[in-house]
Amino acid sequence: MIHWQASRLARVVGGLTAALVAALLFGGCGVGTFLRAAGALPAGADGVTQAANQPATTPSASATSDPGPGTASPTDHSAQSPAPSAALDPVASVTPASTEAAETPKLTSIWNFRDVAGSGLPLADGGRMATGVVYRSGKLDTLSDKDKRALIGLGLVEVIDLRTRAKAASAPDPSLPGVANERIDIWLGRASEPTAKTVAQAEELMRDRNRDFVRVASQREKIAEALRAVLAADGPVLIHCTEGKDRTGWVSFLLQQIAGASLDDSVQQYLLSNDYRRALIEKEVAKVRKAKGETQAAIESATLELDSSYLLAGVDQAEQDYGGVDAYLTDGLGLTSDEISALAAKLRR
C-alpha cells in the first residue's frame, strides 16, 4: 500500500513534467482541464481527436458502440457491419505504435486487439507496466481459427466480456479451450441515450458515457467487479466489449492508472482505438454519408472516433465527485487499499 501511495504521488508529478512463440507457431473542470491548459496532454487532447501514426486498422467486426438496450443514438451497427475481410484487414495498413508490444500477435479477424500495457508503459517511479497480463479488444465472434490459436498461445485463462446480455447473445464469444468466460455487463439497466441531431450533441453524449462510469452506481459496481476479476485471475486475461473503445477503454484506463502510468500516456493509449479501427470507421462513415448526407456522417464520425475529451470528461467527473481517480477507486468503486496494491503489483514488471 505504501508503494502504491508513493506511486500515486509520483504519477501526478510525472504526468505533468508467450506471444513471440505463439506467433512463430501459429502466426502466419478538474484535472483534465488543468492538464490541457498546462499543455501536459498530447496533440489532440484539446478536443480535436488525435490522429496518431499508429495502427490504422483491425478486423471488420461490428462497428456498433453497443449503447445498451433501447438506445437510439449513437447508431447501432451490429446488424449491418461487414464481417472481417481482406479489404478491411485490421492490421494490413497498421504501423505499430511505439507503445505497442512487438510480441503481441497481430490478430486479423477481430478489431482493436492489443496489450493494455502497450509495450510496457513507463511509470512515474521509473518502472514499467507489465505486458502479457491484460489484453483488450472488440467483440470476438468473428475470431478465426488462426487467431484462436494465437490467443491460446498467449496463455489466456479468462475472457471478461463487458457487453449487455442482448449483445453477447447476438454475437457470442467463441469457446477457447482452457479459457473461462465471464460476462460483466457494465451497462446493466442503462437508460437509452437521446438521438444526437448535431455533432456537438453527439460529442457531449460520448462525454456523458464516460461521466456515467463515475456517477452511475450500477456502472461503478460492475466496473469494480471487472477489476476484481482481473485481480483474481491466475494468468493473462482478455477484456472486451463490442468495439473495445468505451467500456473497455475506461477499464483499461483504470488499470493503467492503478499501475502508475501517467495521464498523458493513458490518453494516448485511449486514442489508439481510432487507429486500430481506422478502416472500419471510414467504411461506416462513408455508408452513412451515402445514405443520409454529410451532417449525419459527421455525427456518425463523432460517435465512432474517440476524442481525448471523452475520456477526460470521466476523469474530471471523478475529480468533481471524489477528488480524483484514486479516491474514485476506493470511495466510488469500493476497492480496498489491499486490492489496489495487489492489482498495482500484478500490473508492474
Residue 213 pLDDT more than 80?
Answer: yes
Q: Where are the domains of the chain?
A: 2-346
Residue 86 pLDDT more than 80?
Answer: no
How does the average pLDDT of the chain come out, rounded? Answer: 80
Q: How far apart are CA 110 and CA 175, in angstroms?
A: 15
For range 266-282, the mean pLDDT: 97
Residue 191: band (very low, low, confident or very high) from pLDDT cuts 50, 70, 90: confident
Q: How far apart are CA 150 and CA 43, in angstroms?
A: 34
The model carries a pTM of 0.77
For residue 113, is it left (φ>0), alpha (ψ between -120 and 50) or beta?
beta
Higher pLDDT, 332 or 49: 332
pLDDT score of 78: 37
**Span 227-270, pLDDT tens digits:** 999 999 999 999 999 999 999 999 999 999 999 999 999 999 99
Task: Tell me the residue ranges of DSSP E strands in the chain.
Answer: 114-115, 134-137, 158-161, 180-183, 237-240
CATH of 2-346, one of 1.50.10.10, 3.90.190.10, 3.40.50.410, 3.40.630.30: 3.90.190.10
pLDDT score of 6: 45
Q: How far apart are CA 90 and CA 195, in angstroms?
A: 29
